Chains A and B, each alone.
Chain A
């Protein structure tokens, strides 16, 4: 074996890749094929599913669940813009002004991960409840109307998703900003750029890789989220595509439609990512 490897040194990198490739084959490619296969079957749980290559299922679910698809993309887009708005200044401050508190601040950013995602969302439900201690206090004080509510509104769902995925944006953004040599900013101001111009001409373009990674890590899970929509929304008007898949699969046991919706979401996200990448292509993504 060792002798054989010595003669075929070029194969070593592929050997290193082998476990990962096998893993993806078993846990990604096969399920994908299975899902595509399920999507084109017909039948019910009672009578059994038969493979009929029913490709008509795709336009069917696309038409039926168009509002949910659109709502998911809309929520995910708003969430991503919000995380950029909140997370970029955070990452910037930690990277450039954090000083010796950098690690403490980063720890605070990932601190929420020490508690389960669902538990955290449920505690928000508790905090924001119509008669919970925030709104209850405000109502008692007469600051907001008795009928005012936060839960079960799009704002609640969007805030919840933003809160949950903020660290996924802040961490890659921080890494990208932290790598920027501060002397480049000094050089820009030395060359007659104001602080704003130095930011726009130097810091921002050099942080594009982090912006790209961070916004994708937020947008993609946000588009597929159903926990926040379920716990903080819970009405028909806040249902996202994730809730549709969950209902179809777990409640209705309608596996073909659930699989078809999932596939469409995946393809849509893939196309979106490629397009997004092209938009940022003009920038130096490799810096």
Chain B
């Protein structure tokens, strides 16, 4: 097993009385695309800046490989940064911008010329050497910022919301591009973003952060399919959470009884022992059936809840339903429009329906309820 590239050991950062990063420990493996995801003020950027050397730690140790770099200035750390607004040097040409790091390390001119050309080819901007940063579009500046950092072949590349200033279409394109480049150069990326979709698209692993701590860490599908806290469930997409208590469990499934007596099943592994829990299910895992005999027979082995359609909105790829269940709680359902075409074929408002989903798609959260002061994710919610 190769040694990790970055290790944070119980790192804390305080600004006056404010704790920005709180006793954080973290390991990033070699070659990994690692994201730190969270709302603004969660400590993700501060953590990145401490790794880069732009902020001093209040407590704790930072390792690059096996070297303790906690007290080293940025220019003695084998990491490079792509800054949020690119921070290209406005008085230098693109060539001199990209060559900046190599020049400081006294690489011979011929070698610099060769490497700059290679880098500009990698970011698909060959021939831009003589231009100035202000002559480039946002997307192009972003690529130059990437080239300027990558040319130094750092052990780790730090990216601080590098796509934040780009429009949606360009952002999507650059996400794919970034992932391609990362795979091509094989350098460890640590990526900071508040956009859950961006993090999910590119990352091998994501640390969801909140109040200076890691709320949950894992591959994107783990975080999405099996969030362990309300915050993660709410930050990564939409989720329906229903209160209940654990009524029993076997090897595969635990039974959770809702206040109205309905029993739902969830994977045993997701139940951690707390008696009062919340059962969660993602909107796209739910099926909506009109309440007929056919529906009851189709429900075998599935979790079911009966309710009334409050609202149906047709949005092209899917139809969104708001369904009120017996307890009065409202659940969101995204139904793919596979066999339907047009709003006319959707379930009408007021119709009694049965929601069904597979027990495997159920997750259980045992932690304390989410506090209302938490920020919502800034990215839009996609169907």
**Chain A residues near B (Cβ < 8 Å):** 181, 183-184, 186-195, 197, 201-202, 205-206, 283-284, 287
Contact = CB atoms under 8 A, between A and B. Distances in A.
A183 to B, nearest CB: 4
Contact of A186 (B87, B100, B148, B149): B87
B82 to A, nearest CB: 9
Interface stretch (B72-80, B269-277, B327-335): B72-80
A187 B89 contact: yes
Nearest to A193: B104
A248 B98 CA distance: 61
B75 A194 contact: yes
Contact of A206 (B84, B90, B105): B90
A191 B73 contact: no
Given A186-B81, A192-B75, A192-B152, 13 more contacts: A183-B83, A183-B85, A187-B81, A187-B89, A190-B54, A190-B75, A190-B79, A190-B149, A191-B148, A194-B73, A195-B73, A202-B91, A205-B91
B101 A191 contact: yes
A186 B54 CA distance: 7
A189 B91 contact: no
A202 B81 contact: no
A188 B89 CA distance: 9
Interface of B: 52-54, 73-75, 79-81, 83-85, 87-91, 100-101, 104-105, 148-149, 152
A202 B87 CA distance: 11
8 contacts: A187-B81, A187-B83, A187-B87, A187-B88, A190-B149, A192-B105, A193-B104, A206-B90
Contacts of A201: 100
Contact of B104 (A181, A186, A192, A206): A192
A287 B73 CA distance: 28
B85 A189 contact: no
Contacts of A188: 89, 100
Query: Which 4 residue pairs across A and B have the least CB separation, nearest first?
Result: A191-B101, A192-B104, A187-B87, A183-B87
Contact of B91 (A183, A186, A284): A284
A192 B89 contact: no
Nearest to A189: B74
Contacts of A186: 54, 74, 81, 83, 87
B101 A189 contact: no
B114 to A, nearest CB: 18
B200 to A, nearest CB: 28
A184 B100 CA distance: 12
A190 B74 contact: yes
A261 to B, nearest CB: 41
Contact of B75 (A181, A189, A283): A189
B151 to A, nearest CB: 9
A17 to B, nearest CB: 28
Contacts of B54: 186, 190
Nearest to B101: A191
Nearest to A184: B87
A284 B152 CA distance: 27
Contacts of B81: 186-187, 190
A187 B158 CA distance: 12
A282 to B, nearest CB: 11
A283 B101 CA distance: 21
B89 A184 contact: yes
B90 A191 contact: no
B134 to A, nearest CB: 9
Contacts of A192: 75, 101, 104-105, 152
A176 to B, nearest CB: 12
B315 to A, nearest CB: 40
A190 B89 CA distance: 13
A91 B177 CA distance: 43
A188 B148 CA distance: 11
Contact of A190 (B80, B84, B105): B80
Nearest to B104: A192
A191 B83 CA distance: 12
B87 A191 contact: no
Most chain B CB inside 10 Å of its own CB: which residue of A190, A194, A202, A205? A190
Contacts of B85: 181, 183
Contacts of B148: 191
B91 A191 contact: no
Given A186-B54, A187-B81, A188-B100, A193 B87 contact: no
Most chain B CB inside 10 Å of its own CB: which residue of A181, A192, A195? A192
